[in-house]
């Protein structure tokens, strides 16, 4: 129970006063006292009470913030664990693909999507070259960046790139491939693509490359 306690006494004994202070009153005044002293005493007591209420409220708010931070940290930890699992599956798929064949299968798509969403990007996935061109031509909204694979199930990236640029001339493109930058990837870069990243790539490598291209570095 919260109570406002004022201690008033006619005793001046130091031990008595110190004992009274232990009950933590908002103030004390010794008799005899005049009106000014009582008024000052009451003002001080009320001021202490207001400060106490403010401190209590601030403490409760801080506790609430700490609880929210703990929940956010737990959520992030779960997201990072899920991301690492997806990234591991992604690398495993690419490392065990037949030589010379790097078709982006459903699980690889999901892993790349998880990486990008972890970076707070909105992702639109296209399962083929034709689907990518169709999205570029019909999507009613802004598309800032495209990740273009060299090898797709229906059309090579080199053939998709000019169609993407025709539909969206301001679109930035990062080419990715299991092969080195020499060859088809370099041809798309020479045509105007802004960046290249070689598979398998890590979350950090993808994050840095996307940031680099979007910021025009």
The neighbouring-strand residues paired with 7 are: 28
Residues 6+ apart with CB under 8 A from 141: none
Strand 172-177 with 195-198, pairing: parallel
What backbone torsions phi and psi does residue 7 show, to the nearest 5 degrees? -105, 120
3-state secondary structure of 169: coil
pTM of the predicted structure, to 2 decimals: 0.54
* Confidence (pLDDT) at 191: 93
| Contact predicate 199/180, CB 8 Å | no
- Residue 30: strand pairing partners: 9
pLDDT tens digits, residue range 54-109? Answer: 888 888 888 888 777 777 776 666 666 665 665 565 555 555 544 434 444 566 77
Among candidate residues 122, 120, 174, the one with its CA nearest the CA of residue 146: 174
Q: Mind listing the pLDDT tens digit for each residue in 98-115?
A: 443 444 456 677 788 888
Classify residue 186 by burial, with Cβ atoms within 10 Å: 0-12, 13-18, 19+: middle
Give, for 173, the enclosing helix (H) or strand (E).
Answer: strand 172-177
139 pLDDT tier (thresholds 50, 70, 90): very high
Q: What is the Cα–Cα distance from 161 to 53, expressed in whole angstroms?
A: 65
């Amino acid at each position: 129970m919260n109570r406002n306690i004022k201690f008033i006494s006619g005793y001046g004994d130091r031990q008595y006063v110190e004992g009274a202070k232990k009950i933590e009153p908002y103030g004390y005044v010794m008799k005899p006292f005049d009106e000014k002293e009582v008024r000052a005493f009451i003002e001080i007591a009320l001021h202490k009470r207001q400060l106490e209420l403010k401190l209590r409220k601030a403490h409760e708010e801080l506790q609430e913030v700490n609880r929210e931070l703990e929940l956010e940290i737990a959520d992030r930890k779960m997201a990072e664990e899920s991301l690492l699992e997806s990234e591991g599956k992604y690398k495993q798929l690419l490392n065990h693909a037949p030589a010379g064949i790097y078709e982006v299968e459903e699980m690889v798509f999901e892993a790349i999507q998880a990486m990008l969403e972890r970076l707070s990007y909105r992702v639109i996935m296209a399962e083929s070259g034709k689907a990518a061109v169709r999205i570029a031509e019909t999507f009613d909204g802004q598309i800032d960046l495209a990740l273009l694979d060299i090898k797709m199930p229906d059309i090579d990236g080199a053939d998709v790139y000019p169609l993407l640029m025709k539909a969206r001339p301001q679109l930035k493109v990062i080419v990715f491939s299991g092969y080195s930058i020499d060859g088809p990837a370099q041809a798309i870069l020479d045509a105007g693509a802004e960046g290249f990243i070689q598979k398998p790539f890590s979350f950090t490598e993808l994050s840095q490359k996307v940031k680099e291209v979007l910021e025009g570095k």
